[in-house]
Amino acid sequence: MPHDDYVQHLLNDLDADVAWAQGREIKTIFIGGGTPSLLSGPAMQTLLDGVRARLNLAADAEITMEANPGTVEADRFIDYQRAGVNRISIGVQSFSEPKLKRLGRIHGPQEAMRAAILANGLGLRSFNLDLMHGLPDQTLEEALNDLRQAIALNPPHLSWYQLTIEPNTLFGSRPPVLPDDDALWDIFEQGHQLLTAAGYQQYETSAYAKPGYQCQHNLNYWRFGDYLGIGCGAHGKVTFPGGRILRKVTFPGGRIRILRTTKTRHPRGYMQGRYLESQRDVSDDDKPFEFFMNRFRLLERAPRAEFVAYTGLTEAVIRQPIDEAIAQGYLTECEQYWQITRHGKLFLNSLLELFLAE
C-alpha cells in the first residue's frame, strides 16, 4: 500500500470527523494499530502537518508512535522525531527467542534491545516497552527475566500485559498450554515487586511508569475522555453535552450523548474512501458499565462528580451496585471519591459485572 496514498486517506477521514473536535484543544496523538514504523519520514511529516492544520493541537502535546522492533531504523526514527513524534512505544513482547517465535513475531531479542537503546538515545520525552507475561509454557523465572532485561534498558514507561487468547487467531483455534492461575499469580506478585523496587509505579492494571512519565493518552482513555478514531479499524468516542451534535441533532431532555464510532477494518474499502463502518449511541443503561469499565482500570481515586459530569446520570441509578461493591470489599467510598481496593483489583471482572445493564 503506497504510504502517501494512505496518509491522504487518513487526512480525508479526519476531515469527516474534524467538526466534532471544534472548540477543543487536542493534547495527545497516538499512532498505532499495526506497524506505523513502516511509514517513511516524509509520510509521517505530511500526516502530522495535516493534523496540525486541521486541529487545535497543544504546543506540548504528547505524540506517541508504536514501533515494531523489526522495523526500527535510526534515520527513520530521527525523521519521526523531527515530524513531531516525542514518545515511542516499542512492541518487545519478550526477550526470549523461542517465545517470540511462538508468538509469530518478526523480531528477535537483539533487535528489541537495539530499538530500546536507540529510543533512549534520541532524547525523546519518553518511550515505552510493551511486554507480555503468561506466555505458552512460560515459567516464573522466564517471566521475571523478561522484566529484568526490560528494566536494564531504563524505559520511563513499561506496559506489562497478560496474554489473552482471542477468537479467530491461531492460538484461538489451537489453544496452547498456558500457566495456571497459581503460576500467573506468582508471576504478577513477584513481577510487581521487581518493578516497584526499580522505581516504577503501577497506575493502571497493566501499566507502570517512573514518576512523571504516565502515558497521557492512556490516562485520557481510562478517565472516560473523548478521542477521534482515524484510520483502518480505528475506534472513537465523542461526548456531546446537552445531547447536541453539530447543532443538528438533540437528544430528548438535552441529556449527554455519547457516540462511539468504528472505522472499516478492510484496507481495500478504506482506500476507496469508505471510512465509517458503524456508529452507535451509548444507551443510558450501558453508560455506568462503560464508565466504570474504564475508570476502574486506573488505581487512582475516581471523583464521584465525574460520573455525573461524564454520563449525565445521577448517582441514584448506581447506588445499588455501588453499595454491593462496598459490601463485597471491592470499593471504599468517601464524600468525594470512590477508591478501588486491592481486593477489587484482583476481582475486577466481578466488580464490573455489578454495573452491567439488566
Looking at the fold, whether 41 and 189 belong to one and the same domain comes out as yes
Looking at the fold, whether 66 and 103 belong to one and the same domain comes out as yes
Looking at the fold, whether 16 and 49 belong to one and the same domain comes out as no
**276 lies in which domain range?**
1-23+226-282
Looking at the fold, whether 247 and 166 belong to one and the same domain comes out as no
Assess if residue 85 is contained within a domain: yes
Looking at the fold, whether 123 and 204 belong to one and the same domain comes out as yes
Looking at the fold, whether 30 and 12 belong to one and the same domain comes out as no
The number of folded domains in the chain is: 2
Looking at the fold, whether 62 and 48 belong to one and the same domain comes out as yes
pLDDT digits (tens, 9 = 90+) for 110-137: 999 999 999 999 999 999 999 999 998 8
pLDDT digits (tens, 9 = 90+) for 189-204: 999 999 999 999 999 9
Q: What is the pTM of this model?
A: 0.91
pLDDT digits (tens, 9 = 90+) for 219-251: 999 999 999 999 999 999 999 876 444 444 444
Looking at the fold, whether 203 and 116 belong to one and the same domain comes out as yes
Looking at the fold, whether 99 and 145 belong to one and the same domain comes out as yes
Three state DSSP letters for the chain? CCHHHHHHHHHHHHHHHHHHHCCCEEEEEEECCCCHHHCCHHHHHHHHHHHHHHCEEEEEEEEEEEECHHHCCHHHHHHHHHHCCCEEEEEEECCCHHHHHHHCCCCCHHHHHHHHHHHHHCCCCEEEEEEEECCCCCCHHHHHHHHHHHHHCCCCEEEEEECCCCCCCHHHHCCCCCCCHHHHHHHHHHHHHHHHHCCCEEEECCEEECCCCCCHHHHHHHCCCCECCCCCCCEEEEEEHHHCECCCECCHHHCCEEEEEEECCCHHHHHCCCCEEEEEECCCCCHHHHHHHHHCCECCCEEHHHHHHHHCCCHHHHHHHHHHHHHCCCEEECCCEEEECHHHHHCHHHHHHCCCCC
Looking at the fold, whether 251 and 190 belong to one and the same domain comes out as no
